[in-house]
């Protein structure tokens, strides 16, 4: 007794590329009607869809015993570029890992229609091999799959990483299980420079392995920013060298539920090797309950009438000690996290505690703020921004800071997260008309779940859909899918995030006119089985099967 009557069922045979076969066993009515799909995608299982693709019917075979990914002779990234070596191994494993591996056999004669090499050519004199990705990193690449060998050409290693993913997505199994790839020409680059995912490690602690597995999956989807909402009211898992009491007192557990400096380093390096930036968020002055446990006098004492109630509110903005603390703290952060940006939060500040505190009231009067507590908030944020600027970092902030009229550096990125579609579109228009760069998240709160294929709604949202000039549209640096942590931890985070975040990944990478939702359904269905085959428990879009189902409970 399933209320959803009869369905179009998608039988996925995991054969990518031109050999892709999607069969449907019936075409009965469905709810919603929209979920009816009936055709293969001519783009196989490519996800996100590259900017320009030419595919031919001609196909080549690949064998694990002969195929190699190698540096092209003229490449500026030589044998010492471990980022690429690591990537070659990873993609070789993805392509051949699940089939019976044959020994490399150098003397074997290769067949006439066999592809034996993918040559990777970094064309810019500086490959960026040892650098960190940034918002200005060049991620473009050109991929030519043809005989005698395929060539992946990219100015920087970042584009090579994207192109390797694309190449691996072109490889499919033919009817006899042989790995094949069609002759193909691809020219590709991202539509937006900032394509992020926010994970929240405060509401629930996420073991490092879960974070790494999701970074791995981000790379499969060409996501290039991990927005690490690392602390919040509920817990402070970041182990600070300068203020170890913060996690000692503020983490769920001081040893088992913290991120040590070594953990953080590992996350950053794992991300770098996949072309992913790590932007930490240390949200103040609100969302800081857990900070107060390990740092005396940091939070505002709330009053009940004339006496302190014993509870605490936002960061206390009237004490010099607060700013001394923030200076030292963000100095540490600026050295631990290599990215040029820090996210400073600044959202949802509750004024009730400030209002209750007589010292704060006195300060308000002295400063001539009247009863306008947003002026006090701005006063705090302004000083914080100056502190962070002195550490040579740029900053991102949630939209309230802009809404409250705080003076911002011109390169500030305003992160839009509130309201209805109309409201966020107005906000994007206002932010960009004030000349600021902006990031969109409102339509991509993936923690919010509902029954059915909600990825379709995520897919349809476009961050440039608002009233504004071309100049304004250019100020949209991208967007982020947010998975707030109240209801997710290591048990359910990964299947809840994927493939729903993949919808956002394509919106932010592919051309604006890539909007065919049925084609997207077909490609995404196979892409999700590919993630499953690579060991990621990405959940199904609808009734279907993968040739190799997720192996759970195998350990």
Give the nearer residue to its own copies in terms of CB position, either 132 or 236: 236
327 counts as binding its own copies under rule CB under 8 A: no
Q: Which is nearer to its own copies, 115 or 397 (CB)?
A: 397
Q: Does 24 bind its own copies (CB under 8 A)?
A: no
**Whole-angstrom Cα distance, residue 118 to residue 121?**
10
CA–CA dist 61, 181 (Å, integer): 6
DSSP state of 100: P
Q: Segment contacting its own copies (CB under 8 A): 82-90, 152-160, 184-192, 487-495?
A: 487-495
Please choose, out of 90-98, 209-217, 263-271, 377-385, the segment that lies near its own copies by the rule CB under 8 A.
Answer: 209-217
Specify the DSSP element, H or E, that contains 525: helix 517-533
Active site residue 117: no
Q: Does 200 bind its own copies (CB under 8 A)?
A: yes
The answer to the question of residue 450 lying near its own copies (CB under 8 A) is: yes
Q: Is 532 in the site for its own copies (CB under 8 A)?
A: yes
| Site size toward its own copies, by CB under 8 A | 84
- Owner of token pair 């997505």: 169
Q: How many Cα neighbours within 13 Å face the side chain of 184?
A: 30
Q: How far is the CB of 75 from its own copies (least distance, A)?
A: 33
What SS3 class is residue 524?
helix
Nearer to its own copies, 129 or 384 (CB): 384
How far is it, in rounded angstroms, from Cα 142 to Cα 159?
9
Report the residue from 7, 88, 94, 444 that binds its own copies according to the rule CB under 8 A. 7
CA distances from 150 to 15, 18, 49, 118, 454 (A): 20, 17, 19, 5, 38
| Of the residues 209, 320, 366, 392, which one makes contact with its own copies according to CB under 8 A | 209
Q: Which of 9, 7, 92, 17 is nearest to 527 (CA)?
A: 17
Name which position in 68, 101, 448, 474 contacts its own copies (CB under 8 A): 448
> Is residue 296 a contact residue for its own copies (CB under 8 A)?
no
Nearer to its own copies, 45 or 289 (CB): 289
Site stretch for its own copies (CB under 8 A), options 40-48, 161-169, 378-386, 439-447? 439-447
Question: In whole angstroms, what is the distance from residue 343 CA to residue 346 CA?
Answer: 9
Q: Please, is 156 exposed, middle or buried when counting C-beta atoms within 10 Å of its C-beta (0-12, 13-18, 19+)?
A: buried
> Is 545 an interacting residue with respect to its own copies (CB under 8 A)?
yes
Structure tokens at 80: 């010492």
- Of 182, 378, 494, 522, the residue at the interface with its own copies (CB under 8 A) is 494
3-class SS of residue 266:
helix
Instruction: Work out which of 192, 398, 509, 521 binds its own copies, going by CB under 8 A.
Output: 398
When the beta carbons of 338 and 547 are compared against its own copies, the nearer one is 547
Among residues 137, 234, 300, 430, the one that binds its own copies under rule CB under 8 A: 234
Q: Looking at beta carbons only, is 167 or 398 nearer to its own copies? A: 398
Q: 287: alpha, beta or left, given left = phi > 0 and alpha = psi -120 to 50?
A: left
Contact flag: residue 176 with its own copies (CB under 8 A): no
Residue carrying the six token digits 């960026």: 128
What x-and-dash track marks residues 116-155 binding its own copies by CB under 8 A?
----------------------------------------
Indicate the DSSP class of residue 539.
P
Query: Does residue 543 belong to the site contacting its own copies (CB under 8 A)?
Result: yes
State yes or no: residue 438 binds its own copies (CB under 8 A).
no
Q: Is the CB of residue 242 less than 8 Å from the CB of residue 328?
A: yes
Contact present, 383 and 346 (Cβ < 8 Å): no
What residues from 335 to 394 belong to the interface with its own copies (CB under 8 A)?
345, 347-348, 350
State the Cα–Cα distance between residues 108 and 80, nearest whole angstrom: 29
Return the structure tokens found at 476.
């949209």
The single residue of 34, 93, 348, 471 carrying the catalytic annotation is 348
Under the binding rule (CB under 8 A), the answer on residue 6 touching its own copies is yes
22: Cα separation from own chain's centroid: 29
Contact flag: residue 550 with its own copies (CB under 8 A): yes
Shortest approach of its own copies to residue 314 CB, angstroms?
11
Task: Report the sign of the C-alpha dihedral through residues 305, 307, 308, 314, in that order.
Answer: positive
For residue 259, the minimal CB distance to its own copies (Å) is 13
Residue 489 contacts its own copies per CB under 8 A: yes
272 counts as binding its own copies under rule CB under 8 A: no
Catalytic residues: 348
């Amino acid at each position: 007794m399933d209320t959803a009557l009869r369905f179009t069922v998608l039988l996925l045979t995991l054969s990518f590329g031109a050999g892709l076969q999607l069969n449907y066993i019936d075409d009965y009515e469905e709810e919603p009607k929209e979920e009816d799909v009936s055709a293969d995608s001519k783009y196989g299982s490519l996800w996100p869809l590259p900017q320009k693709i030419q595919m031919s019917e001609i196909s080549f075979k690949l064998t694990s015993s002969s195929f190699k990914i190698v540096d092209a002779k003229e490449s500026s990234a030589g044998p010492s570029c471990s980022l690429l070596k690591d990537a070659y191994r990873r993609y070789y494993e993805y392509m051949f890992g699940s089939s019976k591996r044959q020994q490399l056999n150098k003397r074997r004669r290769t067949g006439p229609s066999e592809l034996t090499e993918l040559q990777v050519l970094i064309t810019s004199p500086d490959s960026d091999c040892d650098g960190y990705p940034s918002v200005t990193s060049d991620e473009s690449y050109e991929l030519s799959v043809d005989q005698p060998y395929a060539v992946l050409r990219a100015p920087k290693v970042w584009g090579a990483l994207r192109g390797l993913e694309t190449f691996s997505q072109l490889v499919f199994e033919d009817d006899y299980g042989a790995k094949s790839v069609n002759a193909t020409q691809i020219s590709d680059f991202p539509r937006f420079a900032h394509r992020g995912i926010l994970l929240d490690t405060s509401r629930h602690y996420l073991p490092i392995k879960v974070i790494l597995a999701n970074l791995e999956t981000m790379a499969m989807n060409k996501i290039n920013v991990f927005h690490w909402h690392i602390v919040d009211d509920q817990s402070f898992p970041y182990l600070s060298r300068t203020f170890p009491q913060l996690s000692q007192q503020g983490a769920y557990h001081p040893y088992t539920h913290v991120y040590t400096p070594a953990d953080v380093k590992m996350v950053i390096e794992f991300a770098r090797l996949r072309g992913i930036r790590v932007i930490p968020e240390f949200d103040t002055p609100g969302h800081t309950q857990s900070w107060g446990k390990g740092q005396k006098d940091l939070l505002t004492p709330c009053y009940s009438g004339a006496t302190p109630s014993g509870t605490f509110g936002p960061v206390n903005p009237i004490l010099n000690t607060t700013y001394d603390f923030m200076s030292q703290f963000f100095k540490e952060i600026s050295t631990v996290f290599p990215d040029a940006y820090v996210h400073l939060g600044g959202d949802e500040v509750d004024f009730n505690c400030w209002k209750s505190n007589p010292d704060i009231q006195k300060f308000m009067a002295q400063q001539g703020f009247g009863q306008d507590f947003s002026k006090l908030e701005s006063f705090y944020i302004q000083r914080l921004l100056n502190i962070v600027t002195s550490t040579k970092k740029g900053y991102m902030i949630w939209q309230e800071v802009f809404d409250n009229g705080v003076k911002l550096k011109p390169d500030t990125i305003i992160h839009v997260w509130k309201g209805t579609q109309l409201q966020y579109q107005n906000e994007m228009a206002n932010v960009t008309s004030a000349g600021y760069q902006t990031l969109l998240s409102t339509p991509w709160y993936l923690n919010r779940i509902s029954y059915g294929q909600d990825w379709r709604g995520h897919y349809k949202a476009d961050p440039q859909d608002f009233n504004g000039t071309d100049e304004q549209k250019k100020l949209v640096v991208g967007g982020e899918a947010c998975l707030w942590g109240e209801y997710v931890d290591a048990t359910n985070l990964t299947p809840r995030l994927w493939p729903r975040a993949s919808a956002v990944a394509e919106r932010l990478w592919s051309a604006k006119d890539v909007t065919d939702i049925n084609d997207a359904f077909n490609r995404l269905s196979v892409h999700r089985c590919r993630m499953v085959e690579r060991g990621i428990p990405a959940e199904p879009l609808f009734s279907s099967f993968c040739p190799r189902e997720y192996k759970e409970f195998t350990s």
